[in-house]
Amino acid sequence: MKRYIIILCAPLLFSLLSFAHKETVIKEPQEPSQRVEKVVYPPVVKYHPAAVHFAMSLPIVVLVLEAFYLLRARKPDGLEFLFVFMGSGAVAVGALTGYVAHESIEEIPISKEALELLHTHETIGIYLAVLFGVILLLRLLYFLKPSGSLRFLYLLLMLVGAGIILFQGNLGGKLVYDFGIGVSG
């Protein structure tokens, strides 16, 4: 019974706690030389964060599903293939929206360090799209003709890809939180 009460009350608690972050303190610079122009980003820049959340989470879900299948000594099925397909598609969409956002952000004056990090982030995103295209191809081949070595290679590349995606997310977080890239204000 306690479990049901917690499950029913959790959304209420989250909604009550979510009001705590809405109050912000705005400090105006004292001297006119410290004033910073407000940067207005094109609307396309806002699509990238939404896309990459799926690109980061779905490969992790695939790895958890694969671990479950390995522990149960089951072969991957259509459900797992669907998640690989969606995950690879999400990585491709994340790379595409990132490329479009990069073109818009590159026009805005940012620091040299932020620009270098932005280029690194873009390059890794393109490589990730290619890697997950290969992963999808391997998984399709495994679906058509199961093989132990093919599954091992697919799992190895999925582990590498998920690790790189987590690193990529860290770089994106640095761009946003350390340099304020993509944040209007």
Each residue's pLDDT tens digit, 80-104: 999 999 999 999 999 999 998 888 7
Residue 55 has pLDDT above 50, yes or no: yes
Residue 158 has pLDDT above 80, yes or no: yes
Residues of the chain with pLDDT > 70, as a percent, come to 78
Alpha helical stretches, state H, 39-179: 47-71, 78-106, 112-144, 148-173
Tell how far CA 126 is from the center of its chain: 13
CB atoms within 10 A of CB 152: 10
Q: Say if residues 69 and 80 touch (Cβ distance below 8 Å).
A: yes
Length of the chain: 185
For the stretch 126-157, pLDDT in tens is 999 999 999 999 999 998 998 989 999 999 99
Mean pLDDT of 51-67: 94
Residue 20 has pLDDT above 90, yes or no: no
**Tokens, residue 111:** 């620091």
The residue that leads in pLDDT, 37 or 19, is 37
Q: Which helix H or strand E contains 6, and what residues bound it?
A: helix 2-18
**Cα 99 to Cα 88: distance, rounded to the nearest angstrom:** 17
pLDDT band at 3 (very low <50, low <70, confident <90, very high): low
- Report the mean per-residue pLDDT for the chain: 82
The structure's pTM equals 0.76
- With b for 16 or more beta-carbon neighbours within 10 A and e for fewer, the 164-173 pattern comes to bbeebeebbe
